[in-house]
Amino acid sequence: MRFTVKLTIGLLALGLGSGDANAAEITMWARSTTEAYSTAMVKAYNETHPDKVVLNLIPNEQFVAKVGTAIAGGSPPDLMSIDLVYVPTFARGEELTDVTALAKALPYYEKLSPSHLRLSTFEGKLFAVPYSAEASFLMYDKALFRKAGLDPEVPPKTWAEVRADAEKITALGNGTYGYYFPGNTAGNNVFTFLPLIWAAGGDVISDDGSKATLNSPAVLGALDHLRAMWASKTIPPSARNDGAENIISTPASGKVGLWAGGAFTMTGLRRLSPNMEVGATFLPGEKAGQWSSFAGGDAIAIPRGSKQPKLAWDFIQWTYSPEVQIGILARNNALPVRTDLAKNEFTERNPVYLVATEAMAKGRTPYSFVYNDLLNSPQGPFLRMLQRAVFDGDVTGAVAEAQKRFQQIIDTGN
């Protein structure tokens, strides 16, 4: 009862009101890449509640513009999930409803994914909360480890160990390679390569997103690490032009020893190679004990102008229940966004997902108002730096160019 009172007070304080007593339907927009996840969530909610959610899936490349136009025109959805990295931009543009009081009234607020909460905060206020989670980590083929004389229960814990294991696996021959990454995609490499820099104590932008910070030993070292594997031919030549089209099929082939990915990678591997024995560990830094992860996924927000904010918040709260976090998400190998529910009957019997859940809880996400231009664009400076350093061998020049271009984009966008 006390929680109900708090919720009602929070809604009134935010100017949301208690909602139309006769309303029974809300609209929700989500990115098309969340189709399976969002469809399952909405279906489960609609089957157990008198109020209904109508889901509208928007193509990824159209999502930001379409939402902005709808909010400006006074016809937004009641609820929407947003790629985590774009929440700061929406919040700064005053396009989202402040849910600070509502969120902090949740008894498990401190257990919600910290990276989601950080990126959903603008000027001390919270404008979104966690919806879906993803985390990057290192995976390896245990069968190839055994063939190469490596212990499949002892994964590499440093860059040097990754390179050494990759060389032994490549030495098996017959088209086998020690390490794989798709070299012609910005987004995937932010997800899997940026954590190597974090693990070594570096970053590419400051915590507040105002400064480029690429001129550091950690950035140079991480690029040198990847460059060394390319130069030693422990990475397949196809990596250079791979735009992430083969991020599942290449590991599933049984011809690659180590690769980085996320929980989505495991889902794909089970589909293509159900008998593959996959090991998992954290993405390491240069020294033992260092590791990091990119905490990705979507946040969920109530757009400014939502006509059914109370029902929207009811749906959000429902997604945090153990019945959803464990009974729907963990049961289907998706990561819970509540860290206190990350270890459960389903994840504890799956060592790979135990690694993923811990990585998500401790992972990081860049906070930037120009995230796409810096890190996600195929024409952006991050991918240009990676390719120039790894494939062309000009590590120092690549970092210097990226530092300059990063700061120019930040200064313009801020």
Q: By C-alpha distance, which of 410, 368, 383 is closest to 86?
A: 368
pLDDT tens for each residue of 141-181:
999 999 999 999 999 999 999 999 999 999 999 999 999 99
Cα–Cα distance between 153 and 103 in angstroms, integer?
41
Mean pLDDT for 185-206 is 97
Q: Name all domains of the chain by residue range, CATH numbers in brackets.
A: 2-134+296-362 (3.40.190.10), 137-292+379-413 (3.40.190.10)
* Residue type, position 163, single letter: R
Mean pLDDT for 86-100 is 96
Neighbours of 242 (CB within 10 A): 19
> Helix 309-319 vs helix 35-48: angle between axes, to the nearest 10 degrees?
110
Residue 129, helix vs strand vs coil: strand
pLDDT tens for each residue of 361-370:
889 999 999 9
For the cut 90, the answer to whether the pLDDT of residue 314 exceeds it is: yes
Long-range CB pairs of 384-393, under 8 A, 24+ apart, other chains included: 385/214, 385/223, 386/183, 386/189, 386/193, 386/223, 386/226, 387/183, 387/184, 387/240, 389/223, 389/226, 389/227, 390/183, 390/223, 390/226, 390/227, 390/230, 391/183, 391/230, 391/240, 393/227, 393/231
For the cut 60, the answer to whether the pLDDT of residue 5 exceeds it is: no
- Token pair 């030495």: residue: 171
Mean pLDDT for 284-308 is 96
Cα–Cα distance between 115 and 61 in angstroms, integer?
23
DSSP string for 223-248: HHHHHHHHHTT-S-GGGGG--STTTT
C-alpha distances out from residue 411 to 209, 384, 408, 414, Å: 10, 19, 5, 5
Please provide residue 121's backbone torsions phi and psi, each rounded to the nearest 5 degrees. -100, 130
Are 129 and 116 a contacting pair, CB within 8 Å?
yes
Cα angle 153, 156, 207 (rounded to 5 degrees) comes to 125
- The reported pLDDT for the residue numbered 10 is 36
Question: 212 has which bridge partners?
Answer: 205
Cα–Cα distance between 228 and 230 in angstroms, integer?
5
pTM above 0.85, yes or no: yes
Dihedral sign from CA coordinates of 110, 113, 114, 116 = negative
Pairing of strands 177-180, 278-281: unpaired
Average pLDDT, the chain: 92
Cα–Cα distance between 145 and 330 in angstroms, integer?
28
pLDDT tens for each residue of 380-400:
999 999 999 999 999 999 999
- The reported pLDDT for the residue numbered 369 is 95
pLDDT tens for each residue of 211-255:
999 999 999 999 999 999 999 999 999 999 999 999 999 999 999
DSSP 262: -
* Residue type, position 289, single letter: G
Are 127 and 90 a contacting pair, CB within 8 Å?
yes
pLDDT tens for each residue of 44-74:
999 999 999 999 999 988 998 999 999 999 9
DSSP 85: G
Gap between the terminal Cα atoms of the chain: 45
